[in-house]
Amino acid sequence: MELLSTEQLNKKTKVIDELCPTHQINLVQFEKPDGTYLAPYCQECMREKIKQDELDGIEKALGHDLDSSTYDVLARESTVSNELKKATFSTFKTTTKEEHEAKEFAIKQANQYLNGMTGNTLIMGKPGTGKSHLCYSMAKTINEGYKAKNEPKSILFVSIAEIITRIQSGWQYKQSDFTEYDALKLLTEVDYLFIDDLGTESIMNSRKDEANNWIQTFLFKVFDKRETTIINTNHNGKELARIYNDKLISRIGKQSEGNVFAMTDITDKRMKRNF
């Protein structure tokens, strides 16, 4: 299709007496190929519409990029099982006083973070007591809460054991798609980091001092650069102190006073469900 030149467009355009109510300039009509004319329009209104459409397109693109770097991080980057993805506070069943208290503690912490609280939170307890369920419910609540307030924040839920495995697996390849640098960037730049089953990674390398030292150094780099991390672990405070050195323990417990809950009397919820 041949485009019309500016001269041809001018010949096809006719100025009429009717004025634009907004700009008080004459409206114009464009002649169609069959000799009839399109509805009158204001050229200045048309320019403003084109400009606004361009701005809307830019804003939409920027909004998509913003979501990608904030609210979408939880679903895209987290290491979560299909079962855990369904976890919410409403699906955490409470049949004992301590289960109710654990749930209320997690809800309270989520609300406090949404209100701007900083500092670490620790939830301790034996395997199967629902620690991961509560923490992932917290992550979802914080993510959805900030999105509802239109305050962009990034939330990430990860298993350190899986992160360590990915890094170490990449050591045998010259061009790994996930390096220690990538992991540190991911774990230190998010606003809220949730660490699932802290301590599990130490068992993986309990007989390899060199590997264990590297893990502690890696974890120190993560915690040292963070102000807000939510942790769940199968270990109590004394056990964590035996696993990690004093400098790392200090970072793990950063600003955690009043933000620790020990699920000591809750039985294995997985055992209840499966047997």
Sorted by sequence, the CB contacts under 8 Å of residue 83 that are 6+ apart come out as none
User: pTM here?
Assistant: 0.72
Mean pLDDT, residues 227-250: 94
Mean pLDDT, residues 76-99: 92
CA 56 to CA 46: how far, in whole Å? Answer: 15
Query: Which among 67, 79, 69 has a CA at the least distance from the CA of 189?
Result: 69
Task: Give per-residue pLDDT as tens, 7-61.
Answer: 555 667 788 889 999 989 998 888 888 888 888 889 888 888 888 777 766 556 5
Task: Give per-residue pLDDT as tens, 88-127.
Answer: 999 999 989 999 999 999 999 999 999 999 999 999 999 9
Q: For 157, what's the count of Cα atoms within 13 Å in the CB-facing half-sphere?
A: 26
Sorted by sequence, the CB contacts under 8 Å of residue 109 that are 6+ apart come out as 121, 138, 230, 259
> Which of the four CATH numbers 3.40.50.300, 3.40.350.10, 3.40.50.880, 3.20.20.70 does domain 72-274 have?
3.40.50.300
Residue boundaries of the structural domains of the chain: 6-67, 72-274
pLDDT the model gives residue 189:
93
The larger pLDDT score, comparing residue 156 to residue 207, is at 156
pLDDT the model gives residue 117:
96
**Structure tokens, 22:** 């907004």
